[in-house]
Amino acid sequence: MTKARTGARIEVDQAAGLITSKLQALADPRRATSNQRFFKQPIPSLGIDAPTLRGLTRAWIQRLKRDWSLLQACELCELLLRQPELEVRAAGFLVLGGFSRVFDDGLWERAEAWLDLRLDNWALVDGFASAVLSPLLKGHPDGVIHLRRWIRSECLWTRRGALVTLVPLARRGEHLDLAFELSEVVLGEKEDLMHKALGWLLRETGKGDSKRLRAFLLRHGGDIPRTSVRYAIERFPEEERKSFLVKTRGV
């Protein structure tokens, strides 16, 4: 990991405090209450909509990128991930994502620790995968060794992170071999959130290689959770969807 540069215009703890205070000032309790319907467990939330959150983090990225190192961005992310509120934690990895051009292999270890300890719901895991993990894998493809290990983790969020990291890449026809490899590993999953992640990833592989997706669905048939099948085929023509639901039904 690159060493921190001296003379930065704003210290990490100061930036963390300012970002947290600004987000808390934007809190919408009614929206926060409404957002709970998307989660099975109580999630502390400020009720800030995504465009507002992204606008705030973009401004901070512009402010920090010129003077901060990757290490400082990681330290900021760590501080914000320690906070309870969904949006504050998301701000941490969104700002870090603005440093993607200088990501290095040392970030994989930090990322795994965050998945194990700090990212405890699907929204944070998916956002982190999109902002940080997918660009990290894009720039450092040897990181596939980490995803192969993560997919067998006892931590649900680490396993989900392994799959969701591949979603935007599979959509462009990249890492399809790995996408199907990891998909096979989780066919016996019991967690509904993994069934949905699997179906999402499989659906996106179809944009890169629809023939291969169809072959995968037919080959594994009844071993694929029904939720995953429905997600995977939702862009198929209606008659073909009906056909695949029958062909993939377990005996």
The DSSP code sequence of 74-92 is HHHHHHHHTSSSHHHHHHH
207 assigned to some structural domain: no
State the average pLDDT over residues 19-45.
Answer: 96
Residues ≥6 apart with Cβ < 8 Å to 126:
160, 164
170 and 188 Cβ atoms separated by less than 8 Å = no
190 assigned to some structural domain: no
State the average pLDDT over residues 13-21.
Answer: 98
Q: What is the pLDDT of residue 249?
A: 85
Question: Residue 4: which domain range?
Answer: 1-102
Total of domains in the chain: 1
136 assigned to some structural domain: no
Q: What is the pLDDT of residue 84?
A: 96
Residues ≥6 apart with Cβ < 8 Å to 84:
44
121-152 tens-digit pLDDT: 999 999 999 999 999 999 999 999 999 999 99
161 assigned to some structural domain: no
Name the more confident of 8 and 49.
49
d(CA 151, CA 134): 15
Q: What is the pLDDT of residue 221?
A: 85
d(CA 139, CA 171): 17
Residue with tokens 């993560």: 150
d(CA 76, CA 221): 45
167-209 tens-digit pLDDT: 999 999 999 999 999 999 999 999 999 999 999 999 999 999 9
d(CA 61, CA 76): 12
148 assigned to some structural domain: no
176 and 170 Cβ atoms separated by less than 8 Å = yes
246 assigned to some structural domain: no
DSSP summary character for residue 5: P
Is the per-residue pLDDT at 224 higher than 50?
Answer: yes
54-80 tens-digit pLDDT: 999 999 999 999 999 999 999 999 999
Is the per-residue pLDDT at 8 higher than 50?
Answer: no
Residue with tokens 């929206």: 31
Q: What is the pLDDT of residue 250?
A: 65
Name the more confident of 68 and 7.
68
Q: What is the pLDDT of residue 251?
A: 44
> Under the phi-then-psi rule, with left for phi > 0, alpha for psi from -120 to 50, and beta for the rest, what region is 250?
beta
61 assigned to some structural domain: yes
Average pLDDT over the chain reads 94
**∠ Cα 11 87 32 (to 5°):** 145
172 assigned to some structural domain: no
Tally of CA atoms within 13 A in the half-sphere of 143 that contains its CB = 24
Domain harbouring 47, CATH code: 1.25.10.90
**Percent of the chain residues past pLDDT 90, beyond the cut:** 94
